[in-house]
Amino acid sequence: MRHLEFGGFVSRERYVSRNSAPREGAVRNRVAHAQRLREEYARAFEDAEAIKSELNLPAEIKRPEGTYVVVTQTADGNGKVDLPSNGIRQGTQRARADGGRDIVIHVPQDKRDVLEAIIAEYGGGPLSVKGNPPNQARVEAIEAFRAFTLAGIWRENRARLPGPDADSVWWGVWCWPDCATDVRALAERLRLTVGAPERDMVFPEAVVVPIHGSCVGIELLIWASDGGVAELGTWVDDAAVLDTLDRTEQSDLVMDLADRVVWPGDDVPVVCLLDTGANRAHPLIEPALSPDDLHTVEPGWGVDDHDGHGSGMSGILLHGDLSSRLGDYSVPVLRHRMESVKLMPPPGAAGHEGHNYGSVTQAAVFTAEMARPDRARVVCSAVTARDVAGDYPTRWSAALDQLACGWTPDPLEGPEPRRLIVQAIGNVPDGRTADEEDPANHPGVDPAQAWNVLTVGGVTFRTEISDAGYESWTARVCAGEASPHARTSEAWPRRSPVKPDVVFEAGNRADDPAGMPPQGRLPSLSSVTTGRGGTGPWVQPFNATSAATAEAARMAARIMAEHPDYWPETVRALMVHSARWTPAMQARLDAVGRSTARSNLRRVFGYGTPDLERALGSARNDLAMLAQAEMQPFAKGKGFEEAHYYPLPWPVRELQDLGDKSVRLKIVLSYFVEPNPSSAAKLDPIAYQSHGLRFDLQRRYEGYNEFRRATNKAMSKTAPKRETDEGWLFGENSVSAGSLHVDIWEGPAAVLAARRAIAVKPVGGWWGERVRAGRRERKTRYALVLGLEAPGIDVDLYAPIETAIRTMVPVGV
C-alpha cells in the first residue's frame, strides 16, 4: 500500500522561539576589566607594528596598514566579536581547554578606535534601567587580547602546520569573497604559485584558493593582503580507495545471469558512481551503462576501470550481492541505470596535486549532469581521505553539502536542484591484532561528516568461514553486529553529526586462535560482485564500506524509480524510516539505560539496516505518513518567520481499543542545509548550518491551542507548563548537529491517541545571523515521515487513517 501523505493539512504560523533567553555570564568589575582590555588591545597593536616593520616585501607592494589581533573569548561567549559595518572581520576560531575560544580579527587602521571606544563605554558609560553597563554582552565575553601569529590563523591541527624551514607545499588560503581576486594577484606578485581559478572552493563567506609556497612566503601574503585572508589550512586531500582481492568464476554463470536480467530503458533513475572508472565490457554492466555515460575528471586518464574497484561497485549498485543470483533461476527486473565518472587517477598518472577533492568531486557531478541534465540520479562515492578525521567540517565535506542543497553563489538566484548523495564512512585499516583493528580506535574519515549526505556504515551477517586453509579460524563478530571493517563516529565530538545514518552488509573479519595476523578479505566473509572481466576475473569478492555504500545507492535508486515525485530529502528520510536494528544491536541498546548512552550507540550502527519493502510502501499495522513542505525559517527583519503545525489523523478509536498495548512511533525529519565551513563551525553547529529544524509532538494532556502556545511565543508570551515528555528513545537533548533528526516514542496506544499534532519549527543558523549574506528570506524544504507500528498486534491502523485523510480539509496558507 502506498504511504499516506498529510502535507496538505499544514498550518503555517508566525513563529517566535521560546529558547531565545540570553545566557547568564560571570559578573565582572567593569572598570578594571575595561582598563585591562584597553591595555592589552594597545599592546597587541604595538607588537603587530613591530612585525610589520620587519616584513621583507617587494618595493612595489604597499605596506599593510590594518592589523590582525587574537581575541580570547570566555566559554559564555557567542563566538562573534566582529563589526562588519566598520570593516572589522573575524576569521579563524579555535577552541581552548577552558571551554572558551581564540578568535582572529582584522582591524583596519582607521577603525582601530571603534572597538576601543566600545570597551571604554562599557567601563565608564551610564548603566541601563536594569543596572547593566553598555555593550555588556560583547565586552564581558572578551577575556583577553594578544598579538597575532601565523599559528593563530591556522584552522587545522597545529601539528600539521609546516615549520619555517619546511619545503614549499600547497596551502588552502581562505579569502573573503570580495578579496579573493586581490589575494590571487598579490600571491603572484610575491612569486607564489597559484592554482587555476576553477579549482577554487566557494563558500558563503569565503573563497578557498590553492597557493603553493613556503611558510615565510605565505606569512608575507597574509600580512600584505591587509585583511584579505581570513583563515589558513592545507589544500591537498589524500584520498584512498579500499584495495580488493580478485578471484575467478566461470564466465558461463555471468552470461546466464545477464541473459535472465530484464534490463532497463533509458528513462529511469541512475546511480552516478564516482570511483576508479568502470569496465563497460562486462556482461552484467554493459546493458545498463551507455558509452555516453562514461566520464572522467581528467581526459588523459581514460574512462576504463584501472584496478577493479569501480567495476566492483558497479555490480553491487546495479544487482546487489551476486552470490545467490549467479546460481539461481530468478528473472531480476532492473529499474535503474548507472553513470561512471572516473575520479581516481590510474597508476603513474599525476593525481589531484594542488587541487582539492571537494572541487574535484563537484566537477565530477557537474560533468555527468551536463551530459544528461534531465535525469533523476543518486550520487555514490566510497572515496575517503586516508588520514583526515571527519570530526569537523572540511572543504570536501562542505562541497558535498553544497551539492546536496543545490547551492549557488548568488543569493538572488534560486537554488539548483537538490541531490541525494550516498557516502561511505570509511574503512578500518588492516592491523596485526584484533585490538589494532578495533573500530572504536578508527573514527570516520573525511568527507563522511557531511551533514546532507546519507552516510553509510557496515553491518555483517556473514559468520561462516569456508575458505581452504582457514578451517580453524573464527569470524570476528556475530551475525547482525556492526562490521569490523567499518569506522564509527564514537570518537567525534558530541556536537558533531551522528554518523553513520544507516548500515548495509560490509563483511566480516577472521581471527586465528593460534595468533596469526587477522584476515579481512576472505571470500566467504565478503559479498560477490562483478570483476574487471576480459583478461581479469569475471567476478570478485567485495567487502567493507564500499560494498555497503553501493548497496545503499542501489536502494535509493529503486525508491526513486517507484516514487518519482519524492524529493531527495524524502528518499533519505524513507531509507532511515525503514531501517531497523538487528537483534544484536537492539540488545546493546536495551543494555544501556540512559538516553545519552543510547545516543552514542547510534554512532556505531546508525539507525539500523534499511528494508526496501518498508521504504516503498506501508502495511496494515506498520505504516508511514509523510509530508513534503517548504518553509521560510527567518523573517526579513529579524527573528524567525514561521513554524508549521500538523493535525495528525490518528486512528483514535483503534488506538484507544488497544489500551495499554505498546505501539511505536518513529519520527524522521530530513532537510538540507547550506554549509558555511568556517573554523567557527568546529565549535558551534549553528555557525555551519544555514538554518536548523526541529520537531515537537503534542503532549498527552495538551489541547491543540495549548500545544501551539507552549511551542510558539508568538501565540502567547506566557508559556503554559508542560508535562514531562517521557517515552522517547533518545530525547530532545540528543539533537546537536546534522540535517537528519530521528527519535522513537514507544508506549501505550491509548496515550498516543491523545497526542494528535506535531510541529516543525526553525532554529538558528548563519542565514539569520549573517544579514549581509543576503540569505534571510531564503526558503528551505523538508520531509517529515511518521512511522506508526503496532508490532505483533493484528490491527488495521492504515484504513482508518486513510479514511480520516480523505475527510480532512486542507489548510490554506
| Main-chain phi, psi angles of 183, to 5 degrees | -65, -40
Residue 146: what residue type? R
Decide if 498 contacts 489 (C-beta within 8 A): yes
Read off the pLDDT of residues 697-714 as tens digits, 9 standing for 90 and up. 999 999 999 999 999 999
Q: How confident is the model at residue 411 (pLDDT cuts 50, 70, 90)?
A: low
The reported pLDDT for the residue numbered 812 is 47
Q: How confident is the model at residue 246 (pLDDT cuts 50, 70, 90)?
A: very low
Q: Tell me what the mean pLDDT of segment 450-464 comes to.
A: 95
The reported pLDDT for the residue numbered 28 is 77
The reported pLDDT for the residue numbered 412 is 65
87-96, 347-356, 568-577, 791-800, range with greatest mean pLDDT: 568-577
Decide if 139 contacts 37 (C-beta within 8 A): yes
State yes or no: pLDDT of 534 exceeds 70. no
Read off the pLDDT of residues 711-731 as tens digits, 9 standing for 90 and up. 999 998 888 889 888 999 998
State yes or no: pLDDT of 811 exceeds 70. no
User: What is the Cα–Cα distance from 135 to 33, expressed in whole angstroms?
Assistant: 13
Helix (H, G, I), strand (E, B) or coil at 457: strand
Cα 406 from chain centre:
14
State yes or no: pLDDT of 532 exceeds 80. no
Residues paired with 14 in a beta bridge? 642
User: What is the Cα–Cα distance from 666 to 677, expressed in whole angstroms?
Assistant: 31
User: What is the Cα–Cα distance from 293 to 285, expressed in whole angstroms?
Assistant: 12
Higher pLDDT, 690 or 82: 690
The reported pLDDT for the residue numbered 105 is 92
Task: Look at residues 546, 568, 565, 544 and name the one whose alpha carbon lies nearest to residue 556.
Answer: 568
The reported pLDDT for the residue numbered 759 is 97
In which element (H, E) is residue 655 found?
helix 652-658
Q: Tell me what the mean pLDDT of segment 98-106 comes to.
A: 90
The reported pLDDT for the residue numbered 249 is 41
Q: How confident is the model at residue 617 (pLDDT cuts 50, 70, 90)?
A: very high
Q: How confident is the model at residue 24 (pLDDT cuts 50, 70, 90)?
A: very low
The reported pLDDT for the residue numbered 809 is 63
Decide if 554 contacts 320 (C-beta within 8 A): yes
Q: What is the mean pLDDT of the chain?
A: 89
Residue 135: count of CB within 10 angstroms of its CB: 18
User: What is the Cα–Cα distance from 280 to 285, expressed in whole angstroms?
Assistant: 6
Cell of residue 61, nine digits: 607592494
Residue 169: count of CB within 10 angstroms of its CB: 16
The reported pLDDT for the residue numbered 350 is 67
The reported pLDDT for the residue numbered 569 is 98
The reported pLDDT for the residue numbered 243 is 28
User: What is the Cα–Cα distance from 347 to 313, expressed in whole angstroms?
Assistant: 19
Lowest-confidence range among 263-277, 348-362, 474-488? 348-362
The reported pLDDT for the residue numbered 42 is 92
Q: How far is CA 384 from CA 200, 400, 449, in A?
A: 20, 12, 11
Q: Tell me what the mean pLDDT of segment 122-148 comes to.
A: 89
User: What is the Cα–Cα distance from 12 to 759, expressed in whole angstroms?
Assistant: 10
Q: How far is CA 699 from CA 337, 484, 706, 754, in A?
A: 46, 41, 10, 8
Helix (H, G, I), strand (E, B) or coil at 788: strand
Share of the chain above pLDDT 70, in %: 94
Contact partners, residue 749, CB within 8 Å, separation at least 6: 655, 656, 658, 659, 660, 661, 662, 663, 790
Higher pLDDT, 733 or 362: 362
Helix (H, G, I), strand (E, B) or coil at 625: strand
Residue 514: count of CB within 10 angstroms of its CB: 7
The b/e string for 372-398 (b: 16+ C-beta within 10 A; e otherwise) is eeebbbbbbbbbbbeebbbbbbbbbbb
Q: How far is CA 590 from CA 230, 502, 581, 583, 586, in A?
A: 47, 19, 11, 10, 6
Contacts 24+ apart (CB under 8 A), 632-639: 632/777, 632/778, 632/779, 632/780, 633/691, 633/693, 633/762, 633/765, 633/767, 633/768, 633/780, 634/691, 634/762, 634/767, 634/768, 634/776, 634/777, 634/778, 635/776, 636/776, 636/777, 638/768, 639/16, 639/768
- The pTM (predicted TM-score) of the whole model is 0.89
State yes or no: pLDDT of 245 exceeds 50. no
Give the chain's domains with CATH numbers: 4-20+599-807 (no CATH), 30-153 (no CATH), 158-235 (3.30.70.260), 240-563 (3.40.50.200)
Residue 252: what residue type? D
Q: How confident is the model at residue 204 (pLDDT cuts 50, 70, 90)?
A: confident
Query: Interhelix angle for 395-405 vs 357-371, to 10°?
Result: 30
